[in-house]
Amino acid sequence: MKLRVLGCSGAELPGHNPSAFLLDDRLLLDAGTVGSMLSEQEQWQLDDILITHPHLDHIRGIPTLADNLIMAGQPRQVRVHATAAVIGALRAHLLNGLIWPDFSTIPSADAPVVRYHEITPEITFSVGEYRVTACEVNHTVPAVGYRVSKGNCTLLYTGDTGPTDRFWQLAGAASALIVEVSFPSGQEELALLTGHLTPELLKRELAKLPVLPRRIFITHLKPQYSEQIRPELDALKIPGIELLQDGAVYQLA
């Protein structure tokens, strides 16, 4: 499984893009960054998007992606997989015909460029060659993380979350984990209030796993705190931890 990081930041500043992770050039985990990192031809290859929650930094690439696909002038469709709460938010507040055109009805209701697929947490479904299971996590809005498997390779992605339990209970064996750490440990109160993790909270969360994945990718750092978070993560001395970088490509096995 090839993992390409389009964005892995918890805020937007020059050189720091919102969350989006591309698997094998075709499947997106969240869509905070799309058009600014993918060429028109690369966008054309996208088939499916898994959305964790409706915060803008995880969905804002969808409208311009849909517009670019329409501009290509050929029939093309991208499927957005999400819970009913997330789809409802997209319909009401983003692709609503006011903020942006409702691309779930364009160019026609029968063959739209965006098609929604409502998912149910803990019910496994297929997306092409992937087996996907969503699980609710602890954030300030309804949110899920994902377990994505292809062959013998499994990737876990928490999305945005504070301390949670069920996600780790369903994790099973995994090749890699993408997990958020947004604030330094001294900001634990703020992290808990906003549904995020610190290095110390991450340590407690990973202790809930019977076996750690070989690779633990850290995402969603607030750039303003990155110089504090990095040494705190090093001090955990947990094997396999890596800080993700925008534009980086990883081979998972």
d(CA 183, CA 198): 5
Q: Is the model's pLDDT at 124 over the cut of 80?
A: yes
Can you spell out the DSSP letters for 124-147? -EEETTEEEEEEE---SSS-EEEE
Mean pLDDT of the residues in the chain: 97
Query: How far apart, in whole angstroms, are the C-alpha atoms of residue 156 and residue 75?
Result: 32
pTM listed for this prediction: 0.97
The pLDDT assigned to 30 comes to 98
Quick check: 227 and 193 in contact, CB under 8 A? no
Confidence (pLDDT) at 75: 78
Superfamily of domain 2-251: Ribonuclease Z/Hydroxyacylglutathione hydrolase-like (3.60.15.10)
* pLDDT the model gives residue 115: 98
pLDDT at position 251 over 90: yes
pLDDT in tens, 158-174: 999 999 999 999 999 99
User: Helix axis angle, 199-206 relative to 226-236, nearest 10°?
Assistant: 30
pLDDT at 107 exceeding the cut of 80: yes
**Cβ contact 247:207 at 8 Å:** no
Q: Which residues contact 116 (CB under 8 A, 6 or more apart)?
A: 79, 80, 82, 87, 90, 91, 104
pLDDT band at 213 (very low <50, low <70, confident <90, very high): very high
Residue 74 is predicted with a pLDDT of: 73
Residue 191: alpha-carbon gap to chain centroid: 19
The model's pLDDT over 54-98, given as tens digits with 9 standing for 90+, comes to 999 999 999 999 999 998 877 789 999 999 999 999 999 999 999
pLDDT digits 0-9 by tens, 133-166: 999 999 999 999 999 999 999 999 999 999 999 9
DSSP conformational letter for 221 = B
Query: In the chain, what is the straight-line distance between the N-terminal and C-terminal CA atoms, in Å?
Result: 6
Rounded distance between C-alpha atoms, residue 87 and residue 31, angstroms: 14
Mean pLDDT confidence for 198-209: 98
Tokens of 185: 């440990």
| 3-state DSSP assignment of residue 211 | coil
